[in-house]
Amino acid sequence: MAQLAARLKNFRTSPTAAMSALVRRLKSEGRDIIGLVGGEPDFATAENIKEAGIAAIRGNRTRYTNVDGLPALKQALSEKFRRDNGLDYAPAQIVASSGTKPILHAALLAMTDPGDEVIVPAPYWVSHPDIARIVGAVPVAVPCPPATGFRLQPADLEAAITARTRVLILNSPNNPTGAIYSEDELRGLIAVLKKYPDVWILTDEIYEHIRFDGQVAPSIAALDPEIAARTVTANGFSKGYVMMGWRLGFAGGPAPMMRAISDMLSQLIGSPSEIAQYAAIEALTGDQSYLEHNAAIYQQRRDIALGVLQQTPGLTCHQPEGAFYLFADCSGVIGRRMPDGKIIETDEDFVHGAIEHAGVAVTPGAAFGMSPFFRLSYACDTEDLRRAMERLRRYCNELV
């Protein structure tokens, strides 16, 4: 009998996707569940962007384009990188693709050989280590606990680097913690990375426009030309630009690496949607006032959810600087008993209990490489969030 490939043993279905599917199933069964799981903004794509997509369809802009994107889109991205990130990427140093995930896959395929190591600060986005495994690399998780603000420390980075290290993945603003690296913190990492010229840096900056309290989110490639020469800055339109279903990501970096990524994408994906690209040009060049407006609403929701968690027995939470998640410590409820008599032994137990006894779905911290924590998304209706937080508080109050 024909067998499945052995590589399938090395990774799993995305835990956040699996949890979102569970929420949809329970709702379809008539259960009253509030899902605080997904990484999808609840806002609609801005009208000017939608109109640009519609105009592209009516203008028959529905064909294949260059694999790395339309010249007009790459020019707009070049200007965006310069304006928002202080990065001087020429259009030839930029690729666009059908989502950010394919770019991350292509980048790691171009940066690593089988058995090479990829440093992934933990907590991490669930897909970062699995993408490394898929391409045959070895993810090396480096714990970044609350005491460090969930940020990688220079000494820990240096301790993790070996002769097989080829890539450091940096995600700022971070999913799941909302942590943002300051310029000084990035310069501390740069001082270490300069000792190891064979190590690439792959950044994931997709939450760059969702920042709070006046925070900025500097790009590491903008801080040092030597580091820029071995950094790929990846981003996308799904989060800040609220273009999830348009499926469009982008990245910039040194020209030889970007040509390699483009070659990989030509085989993996082909060209991105022409319709989405014309919409993205409008997103980059048209009215962008919604970016700050949406970020302000996320900050209000953060404060609502954080305020309740800080008053909930057994839970503590670091205040995020960006993204739209809380990453809460539930160690204070470990060992306590749920209303059905089951003892909470892990963050997974706490999460399943929240679904059963509170009708609230969150994601276990184990999926992000750190326990006992859970991730709570506040990219949802504000009133639904209020109800969910009150349910969580009642659930925790009922634990004995």
The residue extents of the domains of the chain are: 6-44+290-397, 47-285
- Using a 10 angstrom Cβ sphere, with 0-12 exposed, 13-18 middle and 19 or more buried, the burial of residue 32 is exposed
pLDDT tens digits, 124-179: 999 999 999 999 999 999 999 999 999 999 999 999 999 999 999 999 999 999 99
- Cβ 183 vs Cβ 199: under 8 Å: no
Reading the block at residue 360, the tokens are: 């609230």
Q: How confident is the model at residue 78, as a pLDDT?
A: 98
- Residue 14: pLDDT band with limits 50, 70, 90: confident
Q: How confident is the model at residue 13, as a pLDDT?
A: 81
pLDDT tens digits, 319-344: 999 999 999 999 999 999 999 999 99
- Residue 255: pLDDT band with limits 50, 70, 90: very high
Beta sheet of 325-329, edge-to-edge order: 316-317, 325-329, 373-377, 363-364
Residue 10 has pLDDT above 80, yes or no: no
Dist. CA 34–CA 16, nearest whole Å: 15
For residue 234, give the 3-state DSSP assignment: strand
Please state whether 224 falls in left (phi above 0), alpha (psi between -120 and 50) or beta.
beta
Q: How confident is the model at residue 20, as a pLDDT?
A: 87
Q: Which CATH architecture has domain 6-44+290-397?
A: Alpha-Beta Complex (3.90)
Maximum C-alpha span of the chain: 64
- Residue 1: pLDDT band with limits 50, 70, 90: confident
Residue 38 has pLDDT above 90, yes or no: no
Q: What is the DSSP string of 173-231?
A: S-TTT-----HHHHHHHHHHHTT-TT-EEEEE-TTTT-B-TT-----GGGS-HHHHTTE
Per the prediction, the chain carries an average pLDDT of 96
The percent of residues in the chain predicted with pLDDT above 90, rounded, is 93
Q: How confident is the model at residue 328, as a pLDDT?
A: 98
What one-character DSSP code corresponds to residue 143? E
Cα-Cα-Cα-Cα dihedral sign, residues 24, 25, 26, 30: positive
Q: How confident is the model at residue 325, as a pLDDT?
A: 98
Q: How confident is the model at residue 23, as a pLDDT?
A: 86
The reply to whether CATH 3.30.2350.10 applies to domain 47-285 is no
pLDDT tens digits, 200-254: 999 999 999 999 999 999 999 999 999 999 999 999 999 999 999 999 999 999 9
Residue 375 has pLDDT above 80, yes or no: yes
Dist. CA 332–CA 214, nearest whole Å: 32
Q: How confident is the model at residue 25, as a pLDDT?
A: 93
